[in-house]
Structure 1
Amino acid sequence: MTQGAYASVNGIDLYYEVLGADRPGPPLIMLHGGAYTFRLSFDSLLPALTAERKVIGVELQGHGHTADSDRPFSIRQCAEDVIALLDHLGVERADLFGYSLGGLVSTEVAVSAPHSVGRVVLAASHVRSTRSEAYYPEITELKLDSPRMPTEEDSAAMKRAYDEVAPKPEDFFPFVVKLQPAVHDFEGWTDEQLARLTMPVLIIIGDTDFVRLEHAVEMKQLLPDARLAILPGTKHLQVIRPDLVLPMVTEFLRQ
């Protein structure tokens, strides 16, 4: 079963899809990567995940079906939108699976509303300053020849997925310009904030990710109940790979 709908939250119409088995227990909220859609981020995982539980896929401000607005774009604002969506749907507690930008938003949701969060999967995400601590320098300096950077094919897939569902396809490039500083200038969370995230967390990054390997280890140490997986031969935009990610995520969420 798939059901797409909009929720009016915080001045925008936020798109979400409800998929999968309507079973007892918390739903899984899935939050996509920056400039991605829900489906482009997670389609390869959905058949297996939705066979076991209810999945709610969200498209954040300016992404996919959710139009941009004059409202500023920030990690905190996106998290407030997700929390408002949970209230709108009457969801008291949910697990979170966030990829890249979605991982940042998931972390902010957990910081802001820990009572509403069960288990958390953070894929290709970080918790410190993007520019100075979390990312490799060639990412924030936009060195396009870096093997870590998106390929032309990757960029074309993002634009194609956006064009297929966006209310205004012409907004893609202006929104990417708006999005980048929200991520690249992001300062992260304090040790004290992270120490309060006592829920189980699964951290997944690629060995050729935007995120520095040392930072992933730091995340593991800062979060009280975290485990870390580093995927071999995997770039940032390849992290959601079903052969490796699906077994570990499924096991983690079942626990």
Structure 2
Amino acid sequence: MPFARAIDAEIHYEDSGGDGSVVLLGHEFLMDRTMFASQDAALTPEFRLVSWDARGHGNTRDEGLPFTYWTCARDALTVMDRLGVERAVLGGISQGGFIALRTALLAPERVAALILISAEAQEPTPQELANARRFLDKWHDEPLRPALADHLARSLIGDDDWYRGVWAKHWLARDPATLAVAAGALLERDSLLERLSEITCPALIIHPTHSGIPHTHALELAARLPDARYVEVEGARRTVNLTHPVAVNSAIREFLRDQAAPPLRDFSARLGSR
């Protein structure tokens, strides 16, 4: 099992290998790198996919201390260093997108392009903070946890019974204390709105219409990034790469191919196929 060693953590990653463009993918909060199995199968060997586990998730080993998404941005660079990759396309879903944006601000010379799925640049709203804290309080009540896991799975995944069952079971097996530490990074993230103009690399924004990310936030992300294209996936929830892989993989493939064939053209699309 491969790891990239940071000062206080060992970051687990998997590398598909190959000679194509390197695409570093970060997962959603509470999930892990295995959520990109469909992308790995569809996009390699044309592209070299590297998926990794953030602190508090998957097989990454850390000391259980508080961290921020800026810490995770440095972890992403650590994975690239371990692989000897100077420059890569960085992507991610929700939490993974938050990290990718910060990596692009931290080391713009190392980010060739961004793939942002179910992402936004805003800080949490007061309502989001209140709801999350109520959820975390209830999560420590063991009898309530199965119902909460099912509710969370329906919110993130939607009607796919198989994926809901897999991830709900995974969450119930986790230490609740680990969840609380990881949630700290999510709930204490800072706004990047005023810094988005600094990110000049091409960006692909994929917005599922039922992601829980406000439509206006996704549009503002696209508008403020200097070189962005915007794709909607109708009817999908946050983990759209699991439930609508054809739409997501097609958008990513076209975007990555265009990076090798400039100039980049602007377009907007609405994708609803599965």
TM-score between the two structures when normalised by the length of structure 1:
0.83
- 1:178-213 per-residue CA deviation (whole Å, 9 max, x = no partner) reads 22232123222142x210111110111211112100
Q: Give a deviation string over 1:39-67, Cα, whole Å, max 9, x none.
A: 1x211121121120211111111211113
Query: 2:251 corresponds to which residue?
Result: 248
Deviation at 1:158, TM superposition (A): 2.7
Aligned residue among 31, 34, 42 for 2:36:
42
Amino acid at match of 2:79: L
Q: Secondary structure at the match of 1:44?
A: helix
Task: Tell me, yes or no, if the aligned pair for 2:4 and 2:12 is still in contact at 8 Å.
Answer: yes
2:24 corresponds to which residue? 29
> Aligned match of 1:181 in 150, 171, 184?
184
- Greater Cα radius of gyration, structure 1 or 2: 2
Displacement of 1:78 in angstroms is 0.6
Matches within 5 A, 1:10-21: 10-20=7-17
Deviations 1:89-114 (A, max 9, x none): 22110011211111111111001001
Cα displacement (A) at 1:222? 0.5
- More strand by percentage: 1
Indicate yes or no: 2:240 matched with 1:238: yes
> Corresponding residue for 1:9?
6
Query: Which of 193, 196, 200 is the aligned partner of 1:198?
Result: 200
Q: Is this contact kept in 1: 2:24–2:50, CA < 8 A?
A: yes
CA distance in 2, matches of 1:106, 1:59: 13
For the residues of structure 2 that align with 1:243 and 1:90, how far apart are their CA atoms?
31
State the distance in 1 between where 2:134 and 2:237 align: 17
Unaligned stretches of 5+ in structure 2? 136-147, 259-274
CA RMSD of aligned residues (A): 2.9
SS in 1 for 2:204: strand
Residues 155 and 69 (structure 1), Cα distance of their counterparts in 2 relative to 1, 3 Å cut = farther
In structure 2, the partner of 1:210 is 212
Deviation at 1:239, TM superposition (A): 4.7
* SS of 2:206 mapped into structure 1: strand
Query: Aligned equivalents of 1:189 and 1:232: distance in 2?
Result: 26
- Aligned equivalent of 1:166: none
CA distance in 2, matches of 1:225, 1:140: 36
Question: How far apart, CA to CA, are the structure 2 residues paired with 1:65 and 1:210?
Answer: 27
User: Mind listing any 5+ residue stretches in structure 1 that lack a counterpart?
Assistant: 164-168
Measured after TM superposition, the shift of residue 238 of structure 1 is 3.2
1:72 deviates by: 1.6
| Matched letter for residue 30 of structure 1 | L
Range that drifts further, 240-249 or 74-83: 240-249
- Describe the shift of the 1:12–1:162 C-alpha distance in structure 2 as closer, same or farther (beyond 3 A): farther
Post-superposition shift, 1:231?
1.1
- Total equivalences in the alignment: 241
Question: One-letter code of the match for 2:178?
Answer: F
Matched-pair contact (CA < 8 Å) for 1:64–1:162: no
Alignment of 1:145-184 (within 5 A): 149-150=155-156, 156-158=165-167, 160-161=169-170, 170-171=174-175, 173-184=176-187
Residue 223 of structure 1 is matched in structure 2 by 225
CA contact (8 A) 1:139 1:210 kept: no
User: Are residues 245 and 64 of structure 1, via their aligned partners in 2, closer, same or farther at CA, if it must alter by over 3 Å?
Assistant: same
